[in-house]
């Protein structure tokens, strides 16, 4: 994607400025210290026995309790696969059916971008961070205000995310509240995201009937149904259950149509621990795992091997108020524990992290977003959803916070990369030559200089100046710098993410709210 | 320490207010969801083979490279124990000497408070968070200013830390720059801390000659040398090496005197990766481990079994500027990797985390402080030094940030506590009774209510209100709330941490700068 200016850095003019320019220049992608899809898994909150017990309990729950409210079509699919419809209307899942499904489900899912460089391969402990959610507010940092989110806000978020290296996918993070018709809202959400980024996009449909329209739009963007089916660059986030242990009837129908249309699905179980899921971390994980296993049986009954993401997304609750909270240590543990269960099944999965309860991108937001994000990364979660920009326990989205989140996630990814141990990195010979007859320090040694870009992640907006330098620079404010970066990105002419001819065609067919 | 108001919560007046009061009331210490000394260890960035290689390389470095600049007394101690003084003046350590020392060193160290409830037992993966450092500036949040730190600032920090549950010890975090005489500064630092808190205090002496004076003061505070030796409530932070691989001659003499005086020592090796230590994470850990092993041999040669903390504190460097940086992912990995090496040796250890490079307690500070703190906790680091209040890459200390750090560390400790898996927490029967013939949700179930205080860590200042509530409350600002809390703590009459008679006696003997 990028050139490697370090190899052609000019040696002119005394060196210091040139050296600094060279050091500050971007590296070729394959040399960058952090990448999408690095492997986590060094953090394991659950023991092997713990995972086995969670699995067994989830199987018990599926076999004995089952799920209510499947649509008629779902009952046919599921009973056809071997599930049992009880007289109480609940569908129960024999252990063998669940175990067979796990055995034959996809071990890997590729979520495609509109350019292949943005493809994400989900498997094992490979980690990707991105946006998601259904915020209804935009956070206006300057005025400390919450206002309703619009389609322009969504498009801007996609354009910003497109420019941020550590935001690997763009699941629609907010609702376009300026579009009252739900079908128009869904179609314009697709348009707003796909016209802002070539990264993989996540969407959600409000009604099963809308899927066909959405697919028509996606076919147009792709340049035909065959091209879409070859490289589906949008996945559907499917809240197929209403926890506890009930299918979301309409959403299941939506899911069936997405599967038929060749769209990868996220099997999203978003229980709230203490309200719609047990209050204990282990119990909330059990229920989410059980629900997603039911979803996995469902998907594989509709179309064996269809790409599906195991979306155990249990959320935390503040039990004092009964309100959702996403910034707690409990939330970080819920998400990391789920990541381990995905690995237990060897099935690609995702969960939510990076949520802040704070209303603004302040210190609280920083510690909350890092806590769950870094733990999700270290646990090897394939898809870290909601990783940047989310405030007020998911009610508000903030562009500045998205931009700062790129820095934050950069450091989290550095932690995911971990500690390399080799003869070179152990550095015995370097220690020897520095200490015995050497300079007595490592500044400027070949070994130090060689690694200064490939080993280290430097923040874009995070400040590392000394108090004196900071004072001389006029005490730059982090949020102001983020706002300036936002303005810079958005004031650039929009990148041609959609071919103009295609765009005109789309605008003729659909009521596109964004101005052209 | 505290009563348990939940057991005597009044049932009067309709219940809601009483219930809320009961839920918000503090729990008895043994019921609190988080405690000092909880066990980490679920995050392990190094494999068993990695640790073995780091160990072997450190042994090679000690045997082949050794350390220069030991004081005469140190040469006697070390060669007496079996180390070899080379013609180049370096002391080299045969593998057997190092291995024997590891075998016989303390597996556990108790750092005592002035009250036994504040004692900290360091062993295995037990985690404690506290302050440390030598900041030269105070951060004035209101005016966004850096000014020189004073003895009053230090005393205030101790008083604030004394009130914060998740700050488990008070190592002196800043230098009293208003006291020009170094001996007076050291003695007043001890006084400022011990008169502010009964938690364990960490100190540092500027000169070996000062130790005797410091001990005299400590004996007076304790009520006699015998009482001091029985329960030494101050440890000495000993920068016994000047990395790479040189003893700090004077500091070694200080250490000898502290050991003779019965004071636990922190063997502090503070290399900077890329300047005074190799730039690679593994290499910086190797060197720090080698240096601390040399220190361990030294301590055990002076007095076998003397309480010593293995203080591998490698710091990060921004290689573009050559300046120290502590807020990076690399720093978090350095610290977590060191924690694993302490466990490899089964020797109590400490390292630095929670450092922010940001000048203010902003979003950057939040993400930086959480990243290394939560990883240090999950890795099972016994002593997490510099965990709260540190800004500008250790140059500035901030009282508001210390207060907010208590909230931040509270969530990190919740993560350390981890996920409990048992029949109760797996909650199969609860899921069954809620879903089949039950209310269809878990709000208000006995199982949910029973755990709302024992399982969950609620922030003191972190905000969880909805945007609407937040607006109605006048959009409270996190930093303003922290300042208000600071004022509240400091405006309370100082707790009688020193007996008034004893205090008068101390003031007669020493030039105490704090007003009485």
Please report the ipTM that was assigned to this predicted complex.
0.95
Q: How close B460 comes to chain A (CA, Å)?
A: 11
- The arithmetic mean of pLDDT across residues A101-117, rounded, is 97
* pLDDT reading at A493 higher than 90: no
Most B CBs within 10 A among A140, A277, A280, A402, hence the mutation to make, goes to A280
State whether residue B60 sits within 8 Å of chain A by CB.
Answer: yes
Tens of pLDDT, residues A424-455: 999 999 999 999 999 999 998 888 888 888 89
**Residue A175 contacts residue A145 (beta carbons within 8 Å):** no
A378: left (phi over 0), alpha (psi -120 to 50) or beta: alpha
Tens of pLDDT, residues B143-198: 999 999 999 999 999 999 999 999 999 999 999 999 999 999 999 999 999 999 99
- The arithmetic mean of pLDDT across residues A311-317, rounded, is 97
- Looking at chain B, which residue has its C-alpha nearest residue A40? B45
pLDDT at B25: 61
CA distances from A89 to A57, A246, A383, A413 (A): 22, 11, 34, 46
Of B61, B410, B411, the CB nearest to A428: B61
Read off the DSSP letter of residue B315. Answer: B
- The arithmetic mean of pLDDT across residues A59-86, rounded, is 98
State whether residue B401 sits within 8 Å of chain A by CB.
Answer: yes
DSSP string over B139-177: EETTTTEEEE--HHHHHHHHHHHHT-TT--EEE--B--T
| pLDDT digit string (tens) for chain B, length 516 residues | 333 333 333 333 445 555 555 555 666 777 889 999 999 999 999 999 999 999 999 999 999 999 999 999 999 999 999 999 999 999 999 999 999 999 999 999 999 999 999 999 999 999 999 999 999 999 999 999 999 999 999 999 999 999 999 999 999 999 999 999 999 999 999 999 999 999 999 999 999 999 999 999 999 999 999 999 999 999 999 999 999 999 999 999 999 999 999 999 999 999 999 999 999 999 999 999 999 999 999 999 999 999 999 999 999 999 888 999 999 999 999 999 999 999 999 999 999 999 999 999 999 999 999 999 999 999 999 999 999 999 999 999 999 999 999 999 999 999 999 999 999 999 999 999 999 999 999 998 888 888 888 899 999 999 999 999 999 999 999 999 999 999 999 998 777 789 999 999 999 999 999 997
- Looking at chain B, which residue has its C-alpha nearest residue A90? B436
pLDDT at B339: 98
pLDDT at A25: 61
**Calpha distance A304→A312 (Å, rounded):** 21
Say whether A278 and B244 touch across the interface (CB within 8 A): no
- Looking at chain B, which residue has its C-alpha nearest residue A54? B426
CB contacts under 8 A, B 254-283 vs A, are: 274-283
Question: To which CATH superfamily is domain A106-417 assigned?
Answer: Trimethylamine methyltransferase-like (3.20.20.480)
DSSP string over A93-118: --HHHHHHHHHHS-S-EEE--SSGGG
Read off the DSSP letter of residue A394. Answer: G
pLDDT at A495: 72
CB contacts under 8 A, B 332-361 vs A, are: 332-333, 337, 357-359, 361
Residues of A in contact with B341 (CB under 8 A): none
pLDDT at A445: 87
State whether residue A61 sits within 8 Å of chain B by CB.
Answer: yes
* pLDDT reading at A10 higher than 50: no
Mean per-residue pLDDT of chain A? 94
pLDDT at B24: 55
Residues of A in contact with B411 (CB under 8 A): 327-329, 332, 367-368, 371
Of A327, A371, A407, the CB nearest to B374: A371
A350: left (phi over 0), alpha (psi -120 to 50) or beta: beta
* pLDDT reading at A13 higher than 50: no
Of B283, B443, B475, the CB nearest to A430: B283
Nearest to B376 by CA among B201, B168, B106: B168
Of B53, B410, B431, the CB nearest to A61: B431
Q: Both tokens of residue A171? A: 């699941």
Most A CBs within 10 A among B322, B325, B366, B473, hence the mutation to make, goes to B366
* pLDDT reading at A27 higher than 90: no
CB contacts under 8 A, B 363-382 vs A, are: 363-371, 374-375, 378
* pLDDT reading at A15 higher than 60: no
Q: What is the pTM of this model?
A: 0.95
pLDDT at B176: 98
B446 vs A48, higher pLDDT: A48
pLDDT at B13: 41
State whether residue A4 sits within 8 Å of chain B by CB.
Answer: no
**Calpha distance A310→A105 (Å, rounded):** 11
* pLDDT reading at A8 higher than 60: no
**Calpha distance B111→B200 (Å, rounded):** 6
**Calpha distance B164→B158 (Å, rounded):** 10
Read off the DSSP letter of residue A28. Answer: P
Of B282, B378, B428, the CB nearest to A425: B282
Structure-token match 């949020």, residue found: A479
Tens of pLDDT, residues B396-454: 999 999 999 999 999 999 999 999 999 999 999 999 999 999 999 999 888 888 888 88
pLDDT at B10: 37
Residues of A in contact with B366 (CB under 8 A): 362-370
CB contacts under 8 A, B 310-329 vs A, are: 318-323, 325, 327-329
- Helix (H), strand (E) at residue A345: helix A329-345
Most A CBs within 10 A among B367, B389, B456, hence the mutation to make, goes to B367
pLDDT at A22: 55
Say whether B457 and A280 touch across the interface (CB within 8 A): no
The number of helix segments (H) and strand segments (E) in chain A equals 19, 19
CB contacts under 8 A, A 427-446 vs B, are: 427-428, 430-432, 434-436, 440-443, 445
Q: In the beta sheet, which residues pair with residue B452? A: none
Question: To which CATH superfamily is domain B103-417 assigned?
Answer: Trimethylamine methyltransferase-like (3.20.20.480)
Read off the DSSP letter of residue A309. Answer: E
- The arithmetic mean of pLDDT across residues A219-224, rounded, is 97
Say whether A425 and B363 touch across the interface (CB within 8 A): no
- The arithmetic mean of pLDDT across residues A363-368, rounded, is 98
State whether residue B474 sits within 8 Å of chain A by CB.
Answer: no
């Amino acid at each position: 994607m990028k050139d490697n200016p370090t190899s052609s850095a000019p040696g002119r003019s005394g060196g210091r400025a040139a050296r600094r320019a060279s050091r500050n220049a971007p590296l070729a992608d394959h040399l960058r210290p952090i990448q999408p899809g690095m492997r986590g898994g060094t953090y394991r909150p659950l023991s092997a026995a713990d995972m086995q017990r969670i699995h067994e309990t989830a199987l018990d729950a599926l076999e004995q309790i089952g799920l209510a409210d499947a649509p008629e079509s779902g009952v046919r699919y599921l009973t056809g696969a071997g599930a049992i419809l009880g007289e109480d209307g609940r569908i129960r899942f024999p252990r063998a059916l669940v175990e067979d499904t796990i055995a034959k489900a996809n071990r890997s899912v590729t979520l495609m971008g509109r350019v292949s460089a943005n493809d994400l391969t989900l498997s094992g402990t490979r980690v990707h961070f991105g946006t998601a959610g259904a915020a209804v507010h935009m956070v206006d940092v300057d005025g400390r205000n919450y206002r309703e989110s619009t389609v322009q806000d969504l498009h801007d978020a996609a354009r910003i995310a497109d420019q941020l290296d550590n935001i690997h996918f763009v699941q629609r993070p907010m609702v376009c509240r300026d579009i009252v018709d739900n079908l128009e809202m869904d179609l314009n959400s697709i348009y707003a995201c796909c016209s802002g980024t070539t990264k993989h996009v996540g969407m959600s449909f409000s009604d099963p009937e809308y899927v066909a329209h959405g697919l028509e739009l996606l076919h147009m963007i792709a340049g035909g149904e065959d091209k879409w089916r070859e490289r589906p660059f949008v996945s559907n986030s499917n809240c197929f259950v209403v926890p506890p242990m009930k299918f979301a009837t309409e959403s299941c129908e939506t899911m069936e149509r997405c599967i038929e249309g060749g769209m990868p699905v996220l099997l999203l179980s978003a229980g709230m621990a203490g309200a719609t899921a047990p209050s204990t971390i282990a119990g909330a994980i059990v229920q989410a795992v059980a629900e997603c296993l039911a979803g996995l049986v469902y998907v594989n009954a509709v179309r064996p091997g269809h790409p599906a993401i195991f979306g155990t997304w249990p959320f935390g609750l503040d039990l004092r108020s009964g309100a959702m909270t996403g910034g707690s240590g409990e939330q970080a543990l819920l998400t990391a524990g789920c990541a381990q269960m995905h690995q237990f099944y060897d099935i690609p999965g995702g969960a939510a992290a990076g949520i802040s309860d704070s209303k603004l991108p302040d210190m609280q937001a920083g510690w909350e977003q890092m806590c769950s994000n870094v733990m999700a990364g270290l646990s090897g979660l394939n898809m870290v959803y909601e990783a940047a920009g989310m405030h007020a326990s998911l009610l508000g989205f903030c562009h500045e916070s998205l931009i700062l989140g790129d820095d934050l996630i950069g450091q989290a990814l550095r932690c995911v990369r971990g500690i390399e141990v080799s003869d070179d990195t152990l550095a015995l010979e370097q220690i020897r030559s520095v200490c015995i007859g050497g300079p007595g320090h490592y500044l400027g040694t070949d070994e130090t200089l060689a690694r200064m870009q490939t080993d280290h992640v430097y923040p874009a907006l995070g400040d590392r100046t000394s108090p004196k330098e900071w004072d001389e620079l006029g005490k730059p404010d982090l949020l102001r710098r983020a706002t300036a970066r936002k303005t810079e990105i958005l004031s650039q002419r929009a990148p041609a993410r959609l071919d103009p001819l295609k765009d005109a065609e789309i605008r003729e067919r659909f009521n596109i709210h964004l101005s052209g």
